Amino acid sequence: MSSIRSYLLIAVLSAITLTSFVAALYGYRAGVAAADALFDAELTNAAILISTLLPAQAQASDPVPALPSSEVSFQVWNDAGHLLLRSANAPQTPMAPFEPGLRADNFGGHRWQILVRREPAAGHWVMVAQRADTRYLLADSVVRESLLAQLAALPVSAVLIWLIVGHGLRRLDRLAGALRSKAADDLAPLQLAEPPTELAVIVSAVNGLLQRLEQSLGRERRLTADAAHELRTPIAALKVHLHNLAGRLPADDPVLVRLHADTARLEHLIAQILLLYRMAPDQYQARMEPLDLTELAREQIAAHYPQFEHKQQDVRLEGEGQTLVGDRFALATLLQNLLVNANRYTPVGGHIRVSCGPLPGGGALLQVSDSGPGLPAAEHERVFDRFYRQVGARHNDPAGSGLGLSIARLVADLHGATIRFAASPFETGLTVSVEFPARRNA
C-alpha cells in the first residue's frame, strides 16, 4: 500500500473490528448462558406455582382441562400416568419421561426446554416446557444492539483515526517540506527541532547521506578543476613544440595536421571542462542585469564568423532589440555553444539562422536553426549528458567534447529557461529553442 496513513487506518479499523467481533461472540455466549439460567429459574417457579394452584381434589377421572396457550407449555400427571391438567399448546402424551430434571425435546414442530418436577406430597408430576428459540431472543437482542452500535461507531472511528494519524504524520510532512525546500547546491544537514524517535533515525540517515554526497562532490570538483588547470601547462608546451615543428615540415604534412587537430581538441576539451565546473550552481555567482539578447547574439556571431566563413556557411540574425534580465557571461556561453554546434554539424555551404523575439505568453525566445543532419527524437534527452556525442559525430568532427549542451542546460537552468528541439525550417537540420520565462524578461 502506497500510503502510510491509509495503511494505519485500515490496520487499526481491522483490529477494532476483529476485537469487537470476538467480544460480541463472547458476549453472545455469555448472554445465552445467562438467559438459560434465567429461564430455567422461571420454569422452576412456574412448576411450583402450578403445583400450588392445582386443586387438591383433582382426580384421574376428572375431565382434562386445556388452559389457554401461553409462552409456557405444561402438563400435570398423577403417579398412575393419567393426565390431570395441561395447557392448550401441550400434547396429550407426556412431553418428557417421568424423570425429574431438565432436558430438551421436540414436539409440536419446535424445540423445547422441559422441566420435570415430582411433587411427592400430592403424588403429581409437573412438566413445564418453554420453546428454545424464545430463550435466544433476549441474547440475540442484546448482541444485535451491541453490533449495531459498533457498526455505527466504525465511520466515526475511521474519521478520528484518520485525523489522529494525520496529526502524527505532520512531522513527516515537515521533513518532506525541508527536503523539498533545499536548493540543488544545498547539502547542509537537516535541522528539525526535537524530532520523534522514529523520525530521528531518518533525519540522521539523510544527514549522513548529504555529508557523504558533499564530500564526494567536493572530491569530484577538486579533481576536475585541478586536472583541467594542470593540463593547461603541458598543452601550452605542446603548442610551442608544434609551432617549432611546423617550421621544419610542410604545412600539409598529415602528421602535423593531425597533431594540430588533436591539440586543438584537447585544448577545447579542457576549456569546456573548466567552463562546466565554473557554471555549476554551487560555484557560479550570477550577476543578473537587463540585456539585449539580440545584440549579444550579434556579438557572438561576429566572434565566430571566421569559423562560418571557413565552411562558407550562410549565417543570418533575425529580430530586433529583445531584452531580458540575465547574466551576460552565462548567456554568451550559451550562445557560443549553440553557434559552435550549428557550425560543426552544418555542412559546407549550409545555412544557419539565429532569431530573437518575444514569446506569445511573455518572455523571450532564442532560436538557432541549421541545415545539418538533425537530431533523432530518441536522443533529445541524451545529448544533455556529459561527454555524450551523437552517433557518427565523433568520426565526422573529432574536435567536439560532448559538453556543449550540458553547459547550455546549466545556463538555461540558471535563468529558469527551457531548451527544446524541433525540426529546422530548412530542408534538413535542427532548431534549438531556448524559452526564457516572463519573470526574467525586462
Q: Which is higher by pLDDT, 192 or 210?
A: 210
Q: For residue 47, which of 16, 6, 68, 76 has the smallest C-alpha distance?
A: 76
Identify which has the larger pLDDT, 267 or 108.
108
- Among 9-23, 224-238, 329-343, the minimum mean pLDDT is found in 224-238
- pLDDT of res. 61: 47
Average pLDDT over residues 282-309: 86
> CB neighbours of 98 closer than 8 A, spacing ≥ 6?
77, 81, 116, 118, 125
AA letter at 381: E
Whole-angstrom distance, CA of residue 60 vs CA of residue 64 = 9
Give the total residue count for the chain.
Answer: 442
Q: What are phi and psi of 310, to 5 degrees?
A: -60, -35
Tell me which residue has cell 500510503.
3
Q: 68 to each of 43, 73, 87, 306, 395, how far by Cα in Å?
A: 17, 10, 6, 125, 114
User: In this predicted model, what pLDDT tens digit does every residue of 86-98 receive, in sequence order?
Assistant: 888 888 889 999 9
Q: Which domains does the chain have, with CATH numbers?
A: 4-141 (3.30.450), 286-437 (3.30.565.10)
11-59 confidence digits (pLDDT tens):
888 888 888 778 777 777 777 777 778 888 888 888 888 888 776 555 5
26: nearest Cα among 139, 117, 183, 187: 139
Q: What is the crossing angle of helices 404-414 and 254-279, to 10°?
A: 20
Which of these ranges, 92-96, 158-162, 264-268, 285-289, has the smallest mean pLDDT? 264-268
Q: Residue 67: phi, psi to the nearest 5?
A: -75, 155
Q: Which of 442, 101, 396, 87 is nearest to 293 (CA)?
A: 442
